[in-house]
A and B are shown apart, each in its own frame.
Chain A
Amino acid sequence: MASSVLSLASAPPSASLSSHEIEKGKLNLGNSSFCFKKEKTNPFMKTKSVGRISMAVASNLSRFEAITMAPPDPILGVSEAFKADNHELKLNLGVGAYRTEELQPYVLDVVKKADKLLLEKGENREYLPIEGLAAFNKVTAELLFGADNPVIKQQRVLENFGYYLVATVQGLSGTGSLRLAAALMERYFPGAKVLISSPTWGNHKNIFNDARVPWSEYRYYDPKTVGLDFEGMIADIKAAPEGSFILLHGCAHNPTGIDPTPEQWETIADVIQEKNHIPFFDIAYQGFASGSLDADASSVRMFVARGMEVIAAQSYSKNLGLYAERIGAINVVCSSSDAAARVKSQLKRIARPMYSNPPVHGARIVASIVGDATLFKEWNAEMEMMAGRIMNVRQKLFDSLSSKDKSGKDWSFVLKQIGMFSFTGLNKAQCDNMTNKWHVYMTKDGRISLAGLSLAKCEYLADAIFDSYHNVS
């Protein structure tokens, strides 16, 4: 039909892409690949041509006819593919959601208790303030920075007069909290860029792209050692323009599982201070790295103890298993209560036209658990159990790989890496083999989620990894 040819010919490939992808010249056109060459150099032409099409064609055609099918999310899409697979030995090591040894989702006992308590309390469902539940904001900052932290101690005194040093705003888990910070950066630090690790969580780039914050990468993962490229990391942070934001994973780096040592963290802090950069922590796994909530926060706390101003995004998706409740926070540690008040006011201003105010349920669960000594203790125990299970699985996987593989390949990174994820070092073809031959679902960057592995399946996974590593290039 003439009308459908017209619409295809003017399909705007750039319409569904981030500005960064356009810059890189990568275009994924879905159905409309043949129009690629014509439109490639001038993105603005497409806008006009869509306009012409909408006016030229009669009312039968959708005004959204030219929209292309977006690719599935690389991480969340893995679970979808897993669900569609009927093979009995299939294994989902895609998304970082904790599973029990029976590979079932896990609702923490302490969360079930909190849910029941909340129902009994029968509190109202009024709108939270834009910045979220006050009780939650208080406990979340203390949990991250530590009750003994000089900033928190000072804040406790100031609170009596209505002041604070940490601008804390409840956010929609980690993603939402990062997005608020990104929007703040875009508005008040025009031109400043954020440096992200290579590699990093896939959604970081999307968040900064949509928030229109320019980003570049600092070296992080060294494929030769399957470890940290510390020199590269330091060099790249040093080379960044003064006043850049440096995105750091507080613990349990995603996707690699490779964390700097305490000494390395000190050096990172030195360099950031030298260059007047702003440290921006993403803490999605506090408690999951070592099993200790305090130990896992030591990197952030060290920066704050140095008197640095720090941005820190938190998530309770994993450590409290509150994935779907979307509970997290963005914290900005400021050098003055005046700055903190202004920062908070601007974060609110960003949240209001995005979703008005955050959801109450998850916040109440966290506040009731962290705010109650008994429940908090119970949480600590469950946290240790979850982190412990992952450490056991790492050990078993390492043992299985070592006993199978006599080639001299060093698999010890499985033990050294920290948190839910392991960067196997497998390339895309090898990952495809993992999925196609062995029905092991993982992300294409070689990341496996150990949270989705049981002791019972370690042998099988070791076979799959061994085969993919040695027999596929």
Chain B
Amino acid sequence: MDSVFAAIVQAPEDPILGVTVAYNKDQSPVKLNLGVGAYRTEEGKPLVLNVVRKAEQLLVNDQSRVKEYLPILGLAEFNKLSAKLILGDDSPAIQENRVATAQCLSGTGSLRVGAEFLAKHYHERTIYIPQPSWGNHLKVFTMAGLSVKTYGYYDPTTLGLNFQGLLEDLGAAPAGAVVLLHACAHNPTGVDPTVEQWEQIRQLIRSKGLLPFFDSAYQGFASDGGECFIAQSYAKNMGLYGERVGALSIVCKAADVAGRVESQLKLVIRPMYSNPPIHGASIASTILKNSDMYNEWKIELKAMADRIISMRKQLFDALTAKGTPGDWSHIVKQIGMFTFTGLNSDQVAFMTKEYHIYMTSDGRISMAGLSSSTVPHLADAIHAAVTRAS
């Protein structure tokens, strides 16, 4: 009997998560996973923050805790604390009740709910995303019903920001169009605008009435009185990847608008998954509201960031010492978990095949997946890829 599902074709593996699938299949003892942006310790292990374990112990010990459905918009305390974290304690938008916040499933979920809301309620259904951007952005916005255009961002000749292109493309966007901005640590390039450039971007966006949608947020924008969407994730900064903790905040011009926006967000969420998961948000909330734990968190976060910066330096030094052709200073200039190496897909394929280095084909590597002991192997691989006869 032929299956009812005969017409369904095999979907390709997700390009980013598929890297881990391929890595897992590899038996080589020197294999290195530089694919997905998940932090690893110097020993190459995933890390659960001490402060997260502490928070969980508190939660388990609390006999009064129940597992009742959260409200559709999530844990109220978490939402308030999240909004404060991203907008600042003294944010006028918060004080004036102009922020509608919904706990969502990490960054992806926040982006999707925000996009669905825009597709339903906003007159401009085009969103501009930087070229390049996180691979999943295109799918998230398209599935939500928005049409996606790109604006210039990365300059492959300088391995830096194409600022002129960015200004031109956003300048040409129709008034009111939505613009996706990576607040800091651009994924995949690690190339961020400077403070002065951010200010220029902000002025351009406000003068054209464009609607900024931040994948994480930049302080300047949120306090200039204008409206914006912010998708927050606690996957990386609290190491809560699998718990799916995040929030969507919509900063509105007026409190009554924020109230109505909130009510409409519920209608997007209810038919998608009814209400969000409690565990991760409770952990985040516990940490954010306790000043000792909050400080502990900041220290552990800094340690993770410092280790990544150290990996950058070590890789740069290794390539310099080997005399690998090319300017590798972008490795130390770029910011965040990722480095856009500038390697092309052929070189990447070579590195995977010959050196068992797993990374996305756009040349992005996750610095968080490196350690002092594995940097030499990566440097060898890059050197070989760049110097081999093509």
Contacts and interface: CB of A to CB of B under 8 A. Distances in A.
Contacts of A69: 259-260, 263
A362 B46 contact: no
Nearest to A362: B277
B270 A54 contact: no
Q: Which interface residue of A68, A126, A322 has the most chain B CB atoms within 10 A?
A: A126
B53 A122 contact: yes
Interface string B62-75: 00011111111000
A425 to B, nearest CB: 27
Nearest to A58: B209
Given A125-B239, A179-B272, A206-B270, A356 B5 contact: no
Contacts of A437: none
Contacts of B7: 188
A175 B271 contact: yes
A335 B242 contact: no
Q: Which interface residue of B226, B268, B271 has the most chain A CB atoms within 10 A?
A: B271
Contacts of B36: 127
B136 A353 contact: yes
B321 interface: no
A126 B60 contact: no
A355 B121 contact: no
Contact of B122 (A30, A63, A127): A63
Interface string A59-80: 1111111011110110010000
A352 interface: yes
Contacts of B276: 326
Given A54-B123, A127-B36, A346-B8, A352 B3 contact: no
Contacts of B261: 64, 67
B241 A127 contact: yes
B279 A339 contact: no
A355 B277 CA distance: 12
Interface in A314-341: 317, 321-326, 332, 334-336, 339, 341
A331 to B, nearest CB: 13
A453 interface: no
Q: Which interface residue of B12, B21, B66, B244 has the most chain A CB atoms within 10 A?
A: B244
A70 B263 contact: yes
A345 B270 CA distance: 25
Contacts of A2: none
Interface stretch (A111-119, A145-153, A225-233, A288-296): A111-119
A352 B14 contact: yes
Given A124-B48, A126-B38, A16 B112 contact: no
A324 B46 contact: no
Contact of B139 (A126, A346, A353): A353
A339 B72 contact: no
Interface string B103-139: 0111111001000000011111000000000001001
A7 to B, nearest CB: 10
B273 A59 contact: no
Interface string B18-54: 0001000000000000001010000001111000110
A365 to B, nearest CB: 9
B136 A356 contact: yes
A168 to B, nearest CB: 14
B105 A130 contact: no
A176 B273 contact: yes
A129 interface: yes
Nearest to A71: B263
B116 to A, nearest CB: 8
A357 interface: yes
B343 interface: no
A323 B67 contact: yes
B57 to A, nearest CB: 7
Given A72-B263, A129-B17, 8 more contacts: A59-B226, A62-B252, A63-B227, A67-B264, A184-B8, A211-B271, A326-B273, A356-B107
9 contacts: A51-B123, A54-B175, A64-B261, A70-B263, A175-B273, A210-B268, A325-B278, A326-B275, A355-B112
